[in-house]
Amino acid sequence: MKLFSLFIFQLFLFSFSLLSQHPPIDWSPEKKLSWDDFKAAPTGKMFEAAKSEFEIKFKYQGAYKEGKLVFSFDVMPQFIPEESWYNQERATHELLMHEQLHFDITELFARKMRKRFRETTFSEDSYDSEIKALYVKTMTELKNYRSVYNSETFFGAKLDKQLQWNDKVAKTLNELSAYIK
Per-residue pLDDT tens over the stretch 108-132: 999 999 999 999 999 999 999 999 9
Sign of the Cα torsion 16, 30, 155, 171 reads: positive
- Structure confidence by residue, pLDDT tens digits, 57-110: 999 999 999 988 899 999 999 999 999 999 999 999 999 999 999 999 999 999
pLDDT score of 166 more than 90: yes
C-beta of residue 97 within 8 angstroms of C-beta of residue 167: no
Q: Is 110 strand, coil or helix?
A: helix
- Whole-angstrom distance, CA of residue 69 vs CA of residue 2: 10
- As beta bridge partners, residue 25 has 79
pTM: 0.87
Reported as a single tens digit per residue, the pLDDT across 131-165 is: 999 999 999 999 999 999 999 999 999 999 999 99
What mean pLDDT do residues 4-24 have? 53
Residue 44 confidence (pLDDT): 72
Q: Does position 7 have pLDDT exceeding 50, yes or no?
A: no
- 54 beta partners: 79
Alpha helices in 46-158 (DSSP H): 93-119, 127-153
Look over the chain and give the mean of its residue pLDDT values, rounded to a whole number: 90
Give the pLDDT score at 20.
59
- Categorize the per-residue pLDDT at 47 as very low, low, confident or very high, splitting at 50, 70 and 90: confident
CA nearest neighbour of 100 among 32, 168, 160 = 32
Question: What local confidence, expressed as pLDDT, does residue 147 receive?
Answer: 97
Task: Find all residues with CB under 8 Å of 140, minimum gap 6, and list them.
Answer: none
User: Domain coordinates of the chain in residue numbers?
Assistant: 3-179
Task: State the Cα torsion 179-137-74-83 to the nearest 10°.
Answer: -110
Q: Quote the CA–CA distance of 50 and 62 in Å, as a whole number.
A: 40
SS3 content of the chain, % helix, strand, coil (to 5): 50, 20, 30
pLDDT band at 19 (very low <50, low <70, confident <90, very high): low
